[in-house]
């Protein structure tokens, strides 16, 4: 990748190479403990097989926004953000009992095969998946620490990892605690902010900036860009969760419905719904295994009440806010150009 030109496919290939080499090595060390661990080791490798590498990209451009140059050590440090994401995905799929991710069985489904002849194989598969997620989070810290960047640079950014982990887990807990409660838009947006927006955009940017020695003004500007953009990213994900095509998203489009997840889309539908419409929504959400007809009924109700359009307006407003903050950041031209392109790509997408 030319240092002053943003080429997403080239950057993704660099991050993919780092992740696959590092995780393959760690998976082999893990499997060497005992041959029966091979299926678990395979799931470690499967966890990094796919991904847009957005979190690595934001970390990278947080560094470049301070004026620091491209480098392989920085790409390794940025790639550690993707292991955080991989851990979060495994845990999220486990919490939501999701069967598919990227069109393939999720970890807890895949790992049932390793314990299919054991008692309580479903629970055992879930337990193994939980431990895969835990190990991935540990590996994220290891990759970051061994990236090759100077120890003084790493020390500047290390405290931010605690913020990242705390906010991510707080968001997951809030989603669990609020699932099944009366839908509320403010509550849904708070879940979005802590569960996704911070660790997807804002915190990778801040970690990249901290590695580069960003001052307070730059840090504030990165947050002002990253937080609304992260929220817009998840709002788009919520729309795709119900209105996207599973062959494009790689996930079942009844997951949000089945899990009664407190999305902004659902909250906006509930907010303007009349009593009869709320009764209909309660009945649809109360079904254990919603089918295609249930999904169609929810979509029709949401569209009739204008909820998708209001969520689109939320997305547009947040992207505009993010780009306004970026304009005032005064970052070097390559970083400004790349962060502008990323703002578009993460919010105008089909998967």
d(C-alpha 320, C-alpha 106), whole Å = 35
Q: Encode pLDDT of 123-153 as tens digits.
A: 999 999 999 999 999 999 999 999 999 999 9
Check pLDDT > 90 for residue 179.
Answer: no
* Residue 329 or residue 101, greater confidence: 329
- 173 pLDDT above the threshold of 90: yes
**Average pLDDT value for residue range 33-59:** 96
> pLDDT confidence of 245, banded at 50, 70, 90?
confident
| C-alpha–C-alpha distance, residues 78 and 290, integer Å | 39
CA distances from 199 to 54, 93, 233, 282, 298 (A): 11, 17, 12, 32, 30
Q: What are 274-295's pLDDT values in tens digits?
A: 999 999 988 888 777 888 888 8
pLDDT reported for residue 350: 67
As given in the structure block, the two tokens for residue 104 are 């393939």
Closest C-alpha to 54, from 327, 341, 290, 313: 341
Do the strands 104-105 and 100-101 form a parallel or antiparallel pair, or are they unpaired?
A: antiparallel
Going from N- to C-terminal start, the domains of the chain cover 8-347
CATH assignment of 8-347, among 1.10.600.10, 3.60.15.10, 1.10.8.60, 3.40.640.10: 1.10.600.10
pLDDT confidence band for 230 (50 / 70 / 90)? very high
Q: Tell me what pLDDT residue 295 has.
A: 85
* Residue 351, pLDDT score: 62
Whether the pLDDT of residue 1 is over 60: the answer is: no
Q: CA-based Rg of the chain, rounded to a whole angstrom?
A: 21
CA angle 159, 160, 161 (to 5 degrees): 90
């Amino acid at each position: 990748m030319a240092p002053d030109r943003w080429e997403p496919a080239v950057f993704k290939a660099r991050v993919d190479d780092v992740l696959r080499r590092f995780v393959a090595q760690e998976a082999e060390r893990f499997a060497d403990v005992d041959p029966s661990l091979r299926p678990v080791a395979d799931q470690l490798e499967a966890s990094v097989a796919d991904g847009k590498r957005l979190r690595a990209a934001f970390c990278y451009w947080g560094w470049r926004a301070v004026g620091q140059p491209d480098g392989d050590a920085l790409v390794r440090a940025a790639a550690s953000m993707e292991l955080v994401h991989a851990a979060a995905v495994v845990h999220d799929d486990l919490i939501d009992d999701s069967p598919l991710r990227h069109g393939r069985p999720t970890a807890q489904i895949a790992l049932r095969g390793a314990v299919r002849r054991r008692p309580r194989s479903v629970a055992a598969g879930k337990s193994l998946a939980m431990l895969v997620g835990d190990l991935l989070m540990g590996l994220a810290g290891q990759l970051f620490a061994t990236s090759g960047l100077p120890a003084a640079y790493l020390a500047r950014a290390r405290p931010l990892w605690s913020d990242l982990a705390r906010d991510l887990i707080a968001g997951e807990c809030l989603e669990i605690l609020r699932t099944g409660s009366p839908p509320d838009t403010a509550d849904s947006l708070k879940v979005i902010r802590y569960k996704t927006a911070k660790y997807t955009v804002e915190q990778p940017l801040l970690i990249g900036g901290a590695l580069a020695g960003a001052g307070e003004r730059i840090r504030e500007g990165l947050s002002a860009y990253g937080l609304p953009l992260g929220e817009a990213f998840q709002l788009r994900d919520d729309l795709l969760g119900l209105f996207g095509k599973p062959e494009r998203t790689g996930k079942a489009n009844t997951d949000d419905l089945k899990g009664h997840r407190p999305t902004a889309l659902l909250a906006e539908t509930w907010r303007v719904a009349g009593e009869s419409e709320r009764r209909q929504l309660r009945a649809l959400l109360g079904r254990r295994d919603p089918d295609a007809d249930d999904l169609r009924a929810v979509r029709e109700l949401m569209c009739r009440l204008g909820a998708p359009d209001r969520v689109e307006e939320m997305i547009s407003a947040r992207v505009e806010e993010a780009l306004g903050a970026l304009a005032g950041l005064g970052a070097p031209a390559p970083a400004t150009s790349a962060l502008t392109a990323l703002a578009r790509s993460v919010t105008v997408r089909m998967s």
